[in-house]
Structure 1
Amino acid sequence: MEEEEEEARENQPSNSPPPRSEPCCNDLKETSQDLPPVAMEEVVMINKKAVDKLTEGLLSHYLPDLQNSKLTLQELTQNQVVLLDTLDQEVTKFRECNGLLDLNSLFTEAKVYHHKLVNIRKEMLMLHEKTTKLKKRALKLQLQKQKEALEKEQQREKELERERQLIAKPARRT
């Protein structure tokens, strides 16, 4: 096998790499360092079977871990969804509690304002009664003053009439 490689090296120009049946990572590094810069297409010769076997080996090595990781991530995602739903329910409960506290404060405020309203109503009824009494009293006073004024007027008229009667009248000659 080594003899064939040597013959192949002798037949090829000096700037091309020797053909190999299975390239190795170290061989590629050495080849790329030893050669002058040439296009990658010319330098890299890849054996399809080697690539397939390396791919298969890489997948067989990492695929079980990746599948386990995928299952773990799915499980974590499901747990996270459950946690988010639970958290959402807790937030809703807190909002309802805050709503109840607000509702309680509103009821307390409503009681206070209702009490104030009842007091205002009582005061208004009391004021209405007082004004009604004052109106009645004012009406009585007005009637009494009118009566007194009428009596004074009548008294004055009586006095005028009396004075008229007291005034001497000349006798009429007949």
Structure 2
Amino acid sequence: MEDLQLAAPDSLRVESSVFVDQLTQGLLSHYLPDLQNSKRALQELTQNQLVLLDTLDQEVTKFRDCNALLDLDSLFTEAKVYHNKLVTIRKEMIVLHEKTTKLKKRGLKLQQQKQKEELEKEQRREKELERERQLVAKPAKRH
């Protein structure tokens, strides 16, 4: 009987070990394919997320470039406005220069005319003085 008692635990141990192995194999065979599929799905999702993040980064870069282009466009528009203002100012300066040139010529003509009139007035006055001197009675000379 002792032999049976000793043999029983060992056979029980072997049977329980086989049972545990079979139970483990059964659990693994039942859940392992799902876990492996889940692992593959998670890896695929991670890969897709990386691709999506890369694409998003490229799109953000495109938007930044577009904003930079819009800024350049507004700068060119502003430059065109200022160029037109400069052209307008230049035209106005040319017109003002022409007017000042005409005014200077007119002023010079008026000055020359005034000098001519003063010269003529001075000449008339000298003629009148000469005429008055000739009209003044001269004492007769006695011989």
- With the length of structure 1 as denominator, give the TM-score of the two structures: 0.56
Provide the C-alpha distance between the structure 2 equivalents of 1:101 and 1:66, rounded to a whole number of angstroms.
51
Residue of structure 2 equivalent to 1:90 = 59
Alignment deviations for residues 115-146 of structure 1 (CA, whole Å, 9 cap, x no partner): 22222211111111111111101100010001
Provide the C-alpha distance between the structure 2 equivalents of 1:65 and 1:155, rounded to a whole number of angstroms.
132
Partner amino acid, structure 2, of 1:93: K
Q: How many residues are paired up?
A: 122
Alignment deviations for residues 24-57 of structure 1 (CA, whole Å, 9 cap, x no partner): xxxxxxxxxxxxxxxxxxxxxxxxxxxxx9xxx6
What is the alpha-carbon root mean square deviation over aligned residues? Answer: 3.1
Residue 77 (structure 1) shift? 3.5
Structure 1 residue matching 2:139: 3-state secondary structure: coil
Structure 2 residue matching 1:168: 3-state secondary structure: coil
1:77 and 1:173, CA in 2 relative to 1: closer, same or farther beyond 3 A? Answer: farther
Considering Cα pairs closer than 8 Å and 6+ residues apart, tell me whether 1 or 2 has the greater RCO.
1
The 5 A counterparts of 1:125-140 are 125-140=94-109
Provide the C-alpha distance between the structure 2 equivalents of 1:155 and 1:70, rounded to a whole number of angstroms.
125
Alignment pair present for 1:116 and 2:85: yes
Residue of structure 2 equivalent to 1:158 = 127
Structure 1 residue matching 2:137: 3-state secondary structure: coil
Provide the C-alpha distance between the structure 2 equivalents of 1:114 and 1:85, rounded to a whole number of angstroms.
43
The 5 A counterparts of 1:58-69 are none
Provide the C-alpha distance between the structure 2 equivalents of 1:173 and 1:92, rounded to a whole number of angstroms.
125
Residue 74 (structure 1) shift? 4.3
Seq. identity, %: 81
Partner amino acid, structure 1, of 2:131: R
Residue of structure 1 equivalent to 2:74 = 105
Structure 1 unpaired stretches of 5+: 5-52
Provide the C-alpha distance between the structure 2 equivalents of 1:78 and 1:123, rounded to a whole number of angstroms.
67
Provide the C-alpha distance between the structure 2 equivalents of 1:154 and 1:69, rounded to a whole number of angstroms.
125
Residue of structure 2 equivalent to 1:147 = 116
Alignment deviations for residues 139-158 of structure 1 (CA, whole Å, 9 cap, x no partner): 00010001111111111111
Structure 2 residue matching 1:147: 3-state secondary structure: helix
Provide the C-alpha distance between the structure 1 equivalents of 2:127 and 2:32, rounded to a whole number of angstroms.
137
Q: Which has the higher helix share?
A: 2
Structure 2 unpaired stretches of 5+: 6-19
Partner amino acid, structure 2, of 1:78: Q
Provide the C-alpha distance between the structure 2 equivalents of 1:146 and 1:125, rounded to a whole number of angstroms.
31
Provide the C-alpha distance between the structure 2 equivalents of 1:120 and 1:152, rounded to a whole number of angstroms.
47
